[in-house]
Amino acid sequence: MARPKIALIGAGQIGGTLAHLAAIKELGDVVLFDIAEGTPQGKALDIAESGPVEGFDAALRGTNDYADIAGADVCIVTAGVPRKPGMSRDDLLGINLKVMKSVGEGIKAHAPDAFVICITNPLDAMVWALQQYSGLPAGKVVGMAGVLDAARFRHFLSLEFDVSMKDVTAFVLGGHGDTMVPLTRYSTVAGIPLPDLVEMGWTTQDKLDAIVQRTRDGGAEIVGLLKTGSAFYAPAASAIEMAEAYLKDQKRLLPCAAWVDGALGLNGIYVGVPTIIGAGGIERVVDINLRKDEQEMFDKSVDAVKGLVEACKGIDPALA
């Protein structure tokens, strides 16, 4: 049986890291696409040359021609520009919306059966636009945000508690921006919810609040340190987890920016919610209960996403 085909649209910092991870994990053959000539070809060749040392079986190629993504099983989209220090993700809206148009049309023409994972920011609005421009079923177009935000939260919690990151689970819902909603009640150390750990004296409410805020600012913290560009290792790892769930029909329960129409009191919006990813794409949106305070935070985040979507419609009336 032929290996799955993974098309990476955008061969920058995240795209290159995605290609490396996909090859090392032997998820399939990789095609790196970018408008920059030489970049995808150079990265593909460099990673392929690590194959004999790493011992993986995967073919890698770089291209500037959308025709080469034909028949891709998975497309992961990072095309666009990242933010600079002082910029919010929302500042990227106008420029990256144009990029989503060309990427959506490329996927529609050459890989209409793919499971599409969008990483380009501002995430919730860009994944919506990508679905609109590509015309693919909403259940096959999803945004990567919650897995990354939860991974940041899990990392900070593991440092605070001095326990393995493997034993820390976390849930971050809502939009991938300043209003994201890290849910402490649904985050645990081996099943013990964070509020219980506060009661047990493992941490204080103040420290937990500070960790929640550091999670919300997690992307900006990296941008501030790097000074050029934004995070790429953890975003790439997070999208690979989602791609693997699809390719291996794992039925993983992962927080993702998915199309929600009915669940969580929402009708028709892309926003971070718990989802099940399997061979059918987004097979289910998990309709969890939120307490009043959690619901208020979630509603605020949903409103922020709605504002970005309206801004997109203002820029391109074809989306309205």
Q: Which residues bind ligand APR (CB under 6 A)?
A: 9-15, 34-36, 39, 78-83, 92, 96, 99, 102-103, 119-121, 229-230, 232, 235
- Which two three-digit tokens encode residue 44? 């593909």
Beta strand ranges found along 50-191 (DSSP E) = 60-63, 74-77, 115-118, 141-143, 168-169, 172-173, 181-182, 188-189
The reply to whether 155 belongs to the active site is no
What phi and psi, each to the nearest 5 degrees, are found at residue 119? -120, -20
Task: Tell whether residue 14 is among the known ligand binding residues.
Answer: yes
How is 151-219 classified by DSSP, letter by letter?
HHHHHHHHHHHT--GGGEE--EEB-SSTT-EE-STT-EETTEEHHHHHHTTSS-HHHHHHHHHHHHTHH
Position with the least CB separation from ligand APR? 12
Task: Tell whether residue 267 is among the known ligand binding residues.
Answer: no
The number of angstroms, rounded, from the C-alpha of 281 to the middle of its chain's C-alpha atoms is 14
Catalytic residue among 20, 110, 155, 176: 176
Task: Tell whether residue 12 is among the known ligand binding residues.
Answer: yes
| Closest distance of CB 118 from ligand APR, Å | 9
| Closest distance of CB 253 from ligand APR, Å | 23
* Identity of the residue numbered 230: S
Task: Tell whether residue 83 is among the known ligand binding residues.
Answer: yes
Where is 30: in which H helix or E strand? Answer: strand 29-33
Helices first, then strands: H and E counts in the chain: 10, 14
- In terms of CB distance, is 19 or 208 closer to ligand APR? 19
- In terms of CB distance, is 175 or 208 closer to ligand APR? 175
Task: Tell whether residue 39 is among the known ligand binding residues.
Answer: no
- In terms of CB distance, is 31 or 276 closer to ligand APR? 31
- Which two three-digit tokens encode residue 182? 């890290």
- In terms of CB distance, is 43 or 154 closer to ligand APR? 43
From the list 270, 242, 173, 246, the residue with the least C-alpha distance to 18 is 242
| Closest distance of CB 275 from ligand APR, Å | 19
| Closest distance of CB 229 from ligand APR, Å | 5
- Annotated binding-site positions for substrate: 83, 89, 121, 152
**Residues flagged as binding site:** 10-15, 34, 83, 89, 96, 119-121, 152
Q: Residues comprising the binding site for NAD(+)?
A: 10-15, 34, 96, 119-121
Catalytic residues: 176
